[in-house]
Amino acid sequence: MPSLQSTLDDEGVADELAASQRSISIAEFFEKNKHMLGFDSGARGLVTAVKEAVDNALDAAEEAGHLPDIYIEIEEVGDYYRLVVEDNGPGITTEELPKVFGKLLYGSRFHKREQARGQQGIGISAAVLYSQLTSGKPAKITSRTQGGEAKYFELIIDTDSNEPEVSVDETTTWDRTHGTRIELEMEANMRARGQLRDYVKHTAVVNPHARIELREPNGEFKAERATDQLPAETEEIRPHPHGVELGTLLKMLEATDSYSVSGFLQGEFTRVGTKTATNVIAAFTDRHYGREMAWRTPATHEADIEAAVTEAVANKGQAATDEFAGRVADAIRDHDRLAHHELATLVEHAAVATTDETGTTFGDTVQEKAVAAAWTIVRDDRTADLYTLTDEATSTRKDDGVIESFAERLAAKFDGEGQVRDRLRRETLEEYVERAAAMTAEREDVSFGETARENVADALWSVARTVPDDPPNVAAVADDRDTASALLSAMSETDIIAPPTDCLSPITADLVRSGLEKEFDADFYASATRDAGVHGGDPFIVEAGIAYGGDLPAEGSVELLRFANRVPLVYQRGACATTDVLKGIGWRNYGLDQPGGSGMPNGPAVIMIHVASTNVPFTSESKDAIANIPAIEDEIELAVREAARELKSYLNKRRSMQQRQEKQDVLGSILPEMADKLATVTEREELKIDDSLARIMNNVLVERRIENSHVELVVENNSGTSASPELTEIVSAEPTSVSDGARVVEMDGEWFIKWSPEVGSDDDSVLQYELADESDYDLDVTGIESAKLTVNT
Ligand SMILES: Nc1ncnc2c1ncn2[C@@H]1O[C@H](COP(=O)(O)OP(=O)(O)OP(=O)(O)O)[C@@H](O)[C@H]1O
């Protein structure tokens, strides 16, 4: 077939192409790109549909303050699978229901800054779309709001218009008093049963307040409620100034009712009050207008100032002129440094005071002339000033002559056109320093490196003054990208307290731990919850947990559990920021095996990571993986490292205990033989092995000595630190004369005598009592690791 080009000229091709252009409906687009929404295969499609429906069910129930009660059923019906998900949420009104299920990009959460599982308003309608595309059947929905009648709908999505097409709309009966039931038929298979089970099981782990039941062709799974406590209610918040993008800022500037930037900042952002707004505006003004250099005032030139001001003032009479000039000179002397606008204010005050004193007026023109005359003298000494500033800011190794010529060159830069007020932006100042330094380095054949240049620019900028000009108003900022960009930079460089976290509902470290304990039989658990960070104006919190040892499989790499807003992430583990961060950590430092020193660590461990945010940045609409956002990655790393440090100290301790035990075992087998030999050779009584072993091993030794009715428990501390063991002696007769500090409790004919002595290093403690009758003895010692304890009773 001939190509378009071979049959048509350029214009013809363009016309032909123009004729074939048409807009594409959202539903049509997703129909062709199902994989983006997680519906790329029958196996995966089923998992995604369950996930979307269950996430919505949990969101809805929690939002209405109900403890979620969710029922999931998957059944094979002919060529298709039927999925039913029921919840006890608030139900959906008759007006809303068709749009919720029959229109893509329709939802209640997209514009809210509040933690929720749903974000985009695509999930459930995409499942409806997938079901109708593969089975040709409509979605069947029952919903009932509290006190209302149950409604039954059948609908499909019209992919051309992205609008619901309702075929059945009637009243029905339903045993739930409120909630929603959705029934979808779709082409599917159970090949992803593992992922489906994992999703439901892990959802139960991080949502202990939910009751979830799953029935599928090959079995059942039931997660009963572990707590009646709903997660803390979240509040909607405004964006935080840190991390907002320029496009978003421009949109907000256009939409706001505020006139001033200060009002805008305080009204549209969280954590901005008057003080923070003032700080942001100062930084903004510095960027927008630049700062004014404040020169060291010429202390010895008072006479010159008076003369210059006098000369600038004409026809005001000798006495008034002298008074005015004197006042200006005095005021200048009172300042250590002076910027142009400060000089103008000071001259204005002198003019008013002189008028009060002498009755002669000094108007704007006279004041301007006086300012110009005095300013010439104030800035006249700037080479010396720049010399001192540079000398202080650079290393002492720099030669005086070098600094002098640098200062001269830098001072000359301030002679340029338009430099009347010595007002300049930071970039210009840096450029001046750069050029003067480069020239000095070249001419004097010395080095004037990057750090020295930066230090000099910093020193000069820190003595320069923020100008008093009003910042541009909101409309002016919105109109100009550069100005808006300056405001954005000012917002991000100003210290602002972290956003409130009541919009987030982290699992909390304790529940992360108990979630892991509930799910995995391990020897050790650790968890960490970080403070909130900000990304794109949205706050986020990262939590991490580690389970180690026990029944966890020792072979192969550790298991990673990923969660975002309490939703388990099932697919695309390799594309997730959590995986990348985990791979980048040097796990050998924390006691886990890591072949080659990078990549997933090996060992009997489960690592769980939860990112909670008002807007989790996913890599795609299917919400399978968290994007590589540096601020979030840093927090993931810190959370994981925090938990990993606990793991490390646990493993170190365990290792040293193992070594100790091995040593003790070896000694335990050698010592009796040696003692036996020694006793034979010396013909003396055999040594007490336990005592010697305890001393060699620096153990705490506990011995019972009985003489008639008198019983002693001797605690001998051979270790280098003090010990606080708890001893419980259980006897079958009533003890008397029990030594101080003991608690005696009788239970069913047995007496429990409990001591908690504090025994210093190399010291001992003797605990005693009397027993009139014959008795059994049973001693229990706690508070000391078994490898560091020898009990000889
Ligand atoms: N079971 C339900 N009970 C009550 N309201 C529901 C239920 N399911 C969905 N909704 C409402 O319908 C809206 C659309 O749901 P949908 O799954 O399409 O998007 P979402 O959950 O907001 O976002 P996402 O696309 O990220 O999942 C939700 O925002 C919610 O307001």
Q: Are residues 361 and 396 in the same domain?
A: no
* pLDDT of amino acid 4: 52
Exposure on the CB side of residue 258, measured as CA atoms within 13 A: 18
* pLDDT of amino acid 122: 87
Are 326 and 306 in contact by the 8 Å Cβ rule? The answer is: yes
Residue-wise over 635-644: b if at least 16 C-beta within 10 A, else e?
bbbbbbbbbb
The one-letter amino acid code at 61 reads A
pLDDT grade, residue 677 (50/70/90)? confident
Parallel, antiparallel or unpaired: strands 605-613 and 559-564 = parallel
Closest approach atom of ligand 1 to CA 121: 19
Parallel, antiparallel or unpaired: strands 735-736 and 524-529 = unpaired
11 found inside a domain: no
Closest approach atom of ligand 1 to CA 106: 14
753 lies in which domain range?
A: 690-792
What integer is the mean pLDDT of 674-694?
Answer: 82
Closest approach atom of ligand 1 to CA 89: 3
Q: Please state whether 497 falls in left (phi above 0), alpha (psi between -120 and 50) or beta.
A: beta
User: 186-195, 362-371, 780-789: which range is least confident on average?
Assistant: 780-789
- Given a cut of 90, whether residue 274 has pLDDT beyond it is yes
Q: What is the pLDDT of residues 325-341, one digit of tens each?
A: 999 999 998 999 999 99
d(CA 42, CA 35): 11
3-state SS track over 407-445: HHHHHHHCCCCCCCCCEECHHHHHHHHHHHHHHHHHHHC
CB atoms near residue 683 (< 10 Å) = 6
- Given a cut of 70, whether residue 2 has pLDDT beyond it is no
122 found inside a domain: yes
d(CA 87, CA 99): 19
Answer with the residue of higher pLDDT: 416 or 758.
758
Closest C-alpha residue for ligand 1 atom 9: 56
Distance 56 CA to ligand 1 centre (A): 5
* pLDDT of amino acid 19: 83
β-bridge mates for residue 112, sequence order? none
Distance 115 CA to ligand 1 centre (A): 14
Answer with the residue of higher pLDDT: 664 or 493.
493
d(CA 220, CA 750): 48
Q: What is the pLDDT of residues 153-187, one digit of tens each?
A: 999 999 989 999 999 999 999 999 999 999 999 99
User: 202-206, 402-406, 649-653, 690-694: which range is least confident on average?
Assistant: 690-694
β-bridge mates for residue 529, sequence order? 543
35 found inside a domain: yes
Q: Are residues 312 and 399 in the same domain?
A: no
Nearest CA among 385, 464, 389 for reference residue 428: 464
Answer with the residue of higher pLDDT: 569 or 669.
569
202 found inside a domain: yes
pLDDT grade, residue 8 (50/70/90)? low
* pLDDT of amino acid 690: 77
* Residue keyed to tokens 């110009």: 372
Q: What is the pLDDT of residues 64-106, one digit of tens each?
A: 999 999 999 999 999 999 999 999 999 999 999 999 999 988 8
Q: Are residues 41 and 139 in the same domain?
A: yes
Nearest CA among 432, 445, 337, 442 for reference residue 381: 337
Q: What is the DSSP letter of 576?
A: -
Distance 190 CA to ligand 1 centre (A): 25
d(CA 145, CA 177): 7
Q: Where are the alpha helices (DSSP H) in 94-224?
A: 97-102, 123-135, 193-206
pLDDT grade, residue 775 (50/70/90)? confident
Q: Are residues 485 and 555 in the same domain?
A: no
What integer is the mean pLDDT of 692-715?
Answer: 89
Are 225 and 211 in contact by the 8 Å Cβ rule? The answer is: yes
CA 243, 247, 253, 255 dihedral sign is negative
Closest approach atom of ligand 1 to CA 122: 25
- For helices 689-696 and 630-682, what crossing angle results, to 10°? 140
pLDDT grade, residue 25 (50/70/90)? confident
Closest approach atom of ligand 1 to CA 119: 26
Distance 107 CA to ligand 1 centre (A): 6
The one-letter amino acid code at 624 reads D
What integer is the mean pLDDT of 420-431?
Answer: 92
669 found inside a domain: no
Residue-wise over 546-582: b if at least 16 C-beta within 10 A, else e?
bbbbeebeeeebbebbbbbbbbbbbbbeeebbbbbbb
Q: Which residues contact 725 (CB under 8 A, 6 or more apart)?
A: 700, 702, 715, 756, 757, 759, 781, 782, 783, 784, 789
One-character DSSP codes across 4-61: HHHHS-HHHHHHHHHHH-----HHHHHHHTGGGGT-SSHHHHHHHHHHHHHHHHHHHH
* pLDDT of amino acid 535: 86
- Given a cut of 80, whether residue 139 has pLDDT beyond it is yes
108 found inside a domain: yes
What integer is the mean pLDDT of 447-455?
Answer: 89
Report the pocket of ligand 1 as residue ranges, CB < 6 Å: 52, 56-57, 60, 87, 89, 92, 100, 107-109, 118-125, 180
Answer with the residue of higher pLDDT: 10 or 277.
277
Among the candidates 329, 349, 378, a domain finishes at 378
Distance 214 CA to ligand 1 centre (A): 21
Are 239 and 113 in contact by the 8 Å Cβ rule? The answer is: yes
Residue of 36, 117, 124 with the most ligand 1 atoms within 8 Å of its CB, for mutation: 124
Q: Are residues 743 and 638 in the same domain?
A: no
d(CA 433, CA 455): 10
* pLDDT of amino acid 756: 94
Nearest CA among 766, 781, 788 for reference residue 696: 788
Are 460 and 293 in contact by the 8 Å Cβ rule? The answer is: yes
Closest C-alpha residue for ligand 1 atom 19: 121
What integer is the mean pLDDT of 39-59?
Answer: 94
pLDDT grade, residue 793 (50/70/90)? confident
* Number of independent structural domains in the chain: 6
| Proportion of the chain above pLDDT 70, given as a percent | 98
* pLDDT of amino acid 320: 92
Give the pair of three-digit tokens for residue 336.
């250590």
Are 424 and 288 in contact by the 8 Å Cβ rule? The answer is: no
What integer is the mean pLDDT of 759-777?
Answer: 90
d(CA 23, CA 338): 63
498 found inside a domain: no
* Residue keyed to tokens 């939002």: 63
Nearest CA among 249, 246, 269, 233 for reference residue 114: 233
Distance 179 CA to ligand 1 centre (A): 13
Q: Are residues 126 and 180 in the same domain?
A: yes
Among the candidates 378, 401, 418, a domain finishes at 378
Q: What is the pLDDT of residues 602-656, one digit of tens each?
A: 999 999 999 999 989 999 888 999 999 999 999 999 999 999 999 999 999 888 8
Which residues does the annotation place in the binding site for ATP?
56, 87, 108-109, 118-125, 623
Parallel, antiparallel or unpaired: strands 567-568 and 559-564 = antiparallel
Are 151 and 169 in contact by the 8 Å Cβ rule? The answer is: yes
Residue of 26, 48, 59, 146 with the most ligand 1 atoms within 8 Å of its CB, for mutation: 59
Q: Return contacts of 576-579, CB within 8 angstroms, 24+ apart.
A: 576/619, 576/624, 576/625, 576/626, 577/625, 577/626, 577/627, 577/628, 577/629, 577/632, 577/633, 577/636, 578/609, 578/611, 578/626, 578/636
d(CA 242, CA 402): 42
Reduced DSSP (H G I as helix, E B as strand, rest coil) percent helix, strand, coil of the chain, to 5: 45, 20, 35
Are 617 and 536 in contact by the 8 Å Cβ rule? The answer is: yes
Q: Are residues 458 and 473 in the same domain?
A: no
What integer is the mean pLDDT of 183-192?
Answer: 94
β-bridge mates for residue 702, sequence order? 715, 791
Our separate counts of H helices and E strands in the chain read: 24, 28
User: 261-275, 493-507, 550-564, 567-581: which range is least confident on average?
Assistant: 493-507
Q: Are residues 162 and 64 in the same domain?
A: yes
- Given a cut of 60, whether residue 1 has pLDDT beyond it is no
d(CA 639, CA 624): 21
pLDDT grade, residue 229 (50/70/90)? confident
One-character DSSP codes across 693-730: HHHHTT-EEEEEEEETTEEEEEEEE-SSS-B--EEEEE
Length of the chain: 793
- Given a cut of 90, whether residue 675 has pLDDT beyond it is no
Q: Are residues 356 and 434 in the same domain?
A: no
Nearest CA among 547, 631, 589 for reference residue 243: 631
What integer is the mean pLDDT of 273-280?
Answer: 97
* pLDDT of amino acid 36: 86
Q: Are residues 325 and 393 in the same domain?
A: no
Answer with the residue of higher pLDDT: 304 or 728.
728
The one-letter amino acid code at 661 reads Q
665 found inside a domain: no
pLDDT mean across residues, the chain? 91
Are 187 and 134 in contact by the 8 Å Cβ rule? The answer is: yes
CA 131 to chain centre: 38
The one-letter amino acid code at 578 reads T
Q: Are residues 339 and 432 in the same domain?
A: no
CA 669 to chain centre: 54
Domain with residue 645: its CATH number is 3.30.230.10
Closest C-alpha residue for ligand 1 atom 28: 107
By CB atoms closer than 10 A (0-12, 13-18, 19+), residue 245 is exposed
- Given a cut of 70, whether residue 419 has pLDDT beyond it is no
Q: Are residues 152 and 46 in the same domain?
A: yes
Closest C-alpha residue for ligand 1 atom 8: 56
Nearest CA among 207, 199, 180, 223 for reference residue 44: 199
The one-letter amino acid code at 766 reads V
Distance 121 CA to ligand 1 centre (A): 6
- Given a cut of 80, whether residue 687 has pLDDT beyond it is no
| Proportion of the chain above pLDDT 90, given as a percent | 65
Nearest CA among 653, 690, 655 for reference residue 675: 690
Domain with residue 741: its CATH number is 2.60.40.2960
β-bridge mates for residue 73, sequence order? 84, 215
* pLDDT of amino acid 5: 55
